[in-house]
Amino acid sequence: MTQGYLLLEDGGVFRGRSVAAAGTAFGEAVFTTGMTGYQETVTDPSYAEQLVCFTAPMVGNYGVDDGRLESEASHARAVAMRRLGGEDWALWLAEQGVVALDEIDTRALTLRLRDAGAMRAVAVSDERGLAVDEALDIVLAQPPMEGTALVAQVSTAAPYVAEPEGDVRVALVDYGAKRSIARRLSRAGAAVTVFPNVSDPDELATFDGVLLSNGPGDPAPLVEETEIVRSLLGRVPVLGICLGHQLLGLATGHETVKLPFGHRGANHPVLDRRSGRVLVTSQNHGFAVAPSETSEATHVSLYDGTVEGFDFPELRASSVQFHPEAGPGPHDAWPVLERWVAGLTGDPDAG
Are 151 and 211 within 8 A, CB to CB?
Answer: no
E strands along the chain, which residues? 3-8, 13-18, 24-32, 50-54, 78-80, 99-102, 119-124, 160-163, 168-173, 190-195, 209-212, 238-241, 256-272, 278-289, 297-301, 307-312, 317-320
Longest pairwise C-alpha distance within the chain: 66
Measured from the Cβ of residue 348, the count of other Cβ atoms closer than 10 Å reads: 7
Nearest-CA neighbor of 258 among 293, 223, 218?
A: 218
Instruction: Write out the catalytic residue numbers.
Output: 242, 323, 325
For 304, phi then psi, to 5°, come to -140, 5
E strands along 198-237, which residues? 209-212
Q: How far apart are CA 82 and CA 95, in angstroms?
A: 21
* Angle value at C-alpha 44, between 192 and 122, nearest 5 degrees: 155
C-alpha distance from residue 87 to each of 96, 99, 164, 262 (Å):
14, 15, 37, 30
Q: How far apart are CA 23 and CA 204, in angstroms?
A: 42
Who's near 117: CB < 8 A, 6+ residues apart? Answer: 260, 261
Q: How far apart are CA 167 and CA 179, in angstroms?
A: 20
b/e code 115-131 from CB counts within 10 Å (16+ = b): eebbbbbbbbbbbeebe
